[in-house]
Amino acid sequence: MRVNELEFQNKYLDLDDEFYDLTKATPLDEPYLISFNPKVAKLIDLDKTSGNDALFVELLNGTFVPKTAKTYAMCYAGHQFGNYAVRLGDGRAINFGSIKGWNLQTKGSGETFYSRSADGRSALPSSIREYLMSEAMHHLGVPTTRALGIIGSKTKLLRNGIEYGAIVMRMSPSWVRFGTFQYFAYFKKHEELKALADYVIAESYPHLKELEDKYFKLYSEVVNATAKLIASWQGLGFCHGVMNTDNMSIAGLTIDYGPFSMLDDFDFGFVCNSTDKAGRYSYAEQPNISYWNLTKLAVAFVPLVEKKRMERKLEEYGESIYPNAYLKVMRKKLGLELELDTDANLIEELICTLQDAQIDHTNFFRTLSHYDGEMMPLFELAMNPVVIESWLKLYDKRLLKESLTHVERQEQMLKTNPKYVLKNYMLQEAIDLAKRGDFSRVETLLYVAEHPFDELPEYEYLAVETPEGFKNVTLSCSS
Ligand code: AMP
Ligand code: MG
């Protein structure tokens, strides 16, 4: 299918008109293509050469709107850093409708009804970051929104200095957030709340549609999906940075990439968002915050589901659902097939060890994936190898209980622990080059992001320890 043949469905617009505001994009000046992702295009049957079609840039810029697309911004609320905002909504995103179950949306398309005092724009740096990182997360096996393409422009924005406006076209199976439920619950619009729950069931949990008790089951599925999502973040060392309830996906996806970061040297308390002075969204806090966010979702669900039942589900989240999801992720990272009670302790010891060793998170697990009893390669990564040695002795003992050979275990671990992740300094280099009109590094990082578990000799330089001075750097929301 070519760009001019795209056909959209608009089921979201069947909801009451309080759910959205029909709106049009405000085009950027002198738009140009930065990158197009043919792998994502395939998901909606869009021609893989569409990046060469001038209409693609027009589609992203909003100067070409396919006949079947009805552009709108979505309404939602949310707790931002613990404080409730009565109405947020898509302040800079414009939705086109869906194709093959993917809802297409441009981010940075200008003011909407929900922009409040902001400009409705996204700057080039944060747009490149989202474009690349969402793809990296997908290929790392993490549920996430995707990115079809990105354009830059000559439209100037006032940020920390002058930046240029850019637009990413994002695709997601769902753009509904915890905050969408909060919006209708807050205003006691119970009919709309029910309609929203039915919409979410149809879109993201269709197997629940005919079941009795479907709203409790919906809540439970969101709880389970959130546990899996956050456990996968913790396993990879991904810090989201802004886990406000408006940035929590009802479908359990990673959404709204802002000042995110992969851990460089392991630091349990790392806060990647420089505006988060209290460390609310530190790496260590992500599981607790997910629980807090789920309690807020439960409050919004009260008109639909008996409160006590959700309270019990939340208790389970803390006691078993999240811990088990995390154990599952970590056992896989360590190549452990048996489930032993002592594993939680081994993993806790590992976290303390990584902290004390001052060691690169990604490189540690990748190097451990080659482990055959020879400790030296791991010692070489650490500032403090002594603690690594003590933990490896525990690990050696634990491995004796397994039936896999070293080779079998290594094979599995190499498919679990990535060699390549996109660290912030790499993204920054791609951004600096892109600002000078060179998009080659964007393409390189996209390629590497698509092959996180492979050996790519040409890109070995992207698998080394983060250079000093660029480790665990913080970023602000305001890009
Ligand atoms: P975020 O935490 O970046 O996902 O954004 C929080 C809220 O602020 C959402 O409602 C966004 O749509 C809105 N927002 C962020 N940046 C802008 C901007 N430049 N213009 C308009 N709205 C924005
Ligand atoms: Mg957001």
Is residue 478 over pLDDT 80?
no
Q: How many whole angstroms from 118 Cα to the centroid of ligand 1?
A: 8
DSSP lists the bridge partners of residue 31 as none
Give the ligand with the smallest distance to the CA of 74. Answer: 1
Q: Catalytic residue at 276?
A: no
Q: How many whole angstroms from 249 Cα to the centroid of ligand 2?
A: 10
Neighbours of 239 (CB within 10 A): 26
Is residue 166 over pLDDT 70?
yes
- CA-proximal residue: ligand 1, atom 12 (nearest): 91
Atom of ligand 1 nearest to the CA of 477: 3
Which one-letter amino acid corresponds to residue 433?
L
Rounded to whole angstroms, the Cα distance separating 356 from 18 reads 52
Tell me the per-residue pLDDT of 271-303, one tens digit each, with 9 for 90 and over.
Answer: 999 999 999 999 999 999 999 999 999 999 999
Atom of ligand 1 nearest to the CA of 244: 2
Instruction: Number of helices (H) and strands (E) in the chain: give both, helices first.
Output: 16, 13
Name the residue of 72, 92, 106 whose CB sits within 8 Å of the most ligand 1 atoms, as the mutation to test its pocket. 92
Tell me the per-residue pLDDT of 122-165, one tens digit each, with 9 for 90 and over.
Answer: 999 999 999 999 999 999 999 999 999 999 999 999 998 999 99
Which one-letter amino acid corresponds to residue 467?
P
Atom of ligand 1 nearest to the CA of 89: 10
- CA-proximal residue: ligand 1, atom 11 (nearest): 91
> What residues have their beta carbon closer than 5 A to ion ligand 2?
247, 256
Rounded to whole angstroms, the Cα distance separating 380 from 367 reads 10
Atom of ligand 1 nearest to the CA of 88: 10
Give the ligand with the smallest distance to the CA of 88. Answer: 1
Give the ligand with the smallest distance to the CA of 85. Answer: 1
Confidence of residue 179 (pLDDT cuts 50, 70, 90): very high
Contact 80, 246 (CB under 8 A): yes
Rounded to whole angstroms, the Cα distance separating 360 from 418 reads 13
Residue 17, classified by CB atoms within 10 Å of its CB into exposed (0-12), middle (13-18) or buried (19+), is exposed
Structure tokens at 6: 């795209």
Atom of ligand 1 nearest to the CA of 247: 4
Atom of ligand 1 nearest to the CA of 122: 19
Strands 156-159 and 93-99: unpaired
The residues lining ligand 1, judged by C-beta closer than 6 Å to any ligand atom, are 88-92, 115, 118-121, 242, 244, 247, 256, 258, 477
Confidence of residue 477 (pLDDT cuts 50, 70, 90): confident
- Average model confidence (pLDDT) across the chain: 97
Q: How many whole angstroms from 95 Cα to the centroid of ligand 1?
A: 15
How much is the average pLDDT of 442-471? 97
Q: Single out the catalytic residue among 246, 264, 265, 267.
A: 246
Structure confidence at residue 324 (pLDDT):
98
How much is the average pLDDT of 180-205? 98
Q: How many whole angstroms from 94 Cα to the centroid of ligand 1?
A: 12
- CA-proximal residue: ligand 1, atom 8 (nearest): 91
How much is the average pLDDT of 83-92? 98
Name the residue of 81, 84, 94, 115 whose CB sits within 8 Å of the most ligand 1 atoms, as the mutation to test its pocket. 115
Q: How many whole angstroms from 92 Cα to the centroid of ligand 2?
A: 10
Tell me the per-residue pLDDT of 323-381, one tens digit each, with 9 for 90 and over.
Answer: 999 999 999 999 999 999 999 999 999 999 999 999 999 999 999 999 999 999 999 99
Structure confidence at residue 15 (pLDDT):
98
Tell me the per-residue pLDDT of 378-409, one tens digit each, with 9 for 90 and over.
Answer: 999 998 999 999 999 999 999 999 999 999 99
Residue 323, classified by CB atoms within 10 Å of its CB into exposed (0-12), middle (13-18) or buried (19+), is middle
- CA-proximal residue: ligand 1, atom 1 (nearest): 256
Contact 333, 413 (CB under 8 A): yes
Structure confidence at residue 160 (pLDDT):
87
How much is the average pLDDT of 47-71? 98
How much is the average pLDDT of 248-267? 97
Name the residue of 157, 167, 246 whose CB sits within 8 Å of the most ligand 1 atoms, as the mutation to test its pocket. 246
How much is the average pLDDT of 433-462? 98
Confidence of residue 314 (pLDDT cuts 50, 70, 90): very high
Is residue 418 over pLDDT 70?
yes
Which 3 state secondary structure label does DSSP give 379?
helix
Structure tokens at 139: 């290929």
Structure confidence at residue 479 (pLDDT):
55
Give the ligand with the smallest distance to the CA of 177. Answer: 2
Q: How many whole angstroms from 143 Cα to the centroid of ligand 2?
A: 17
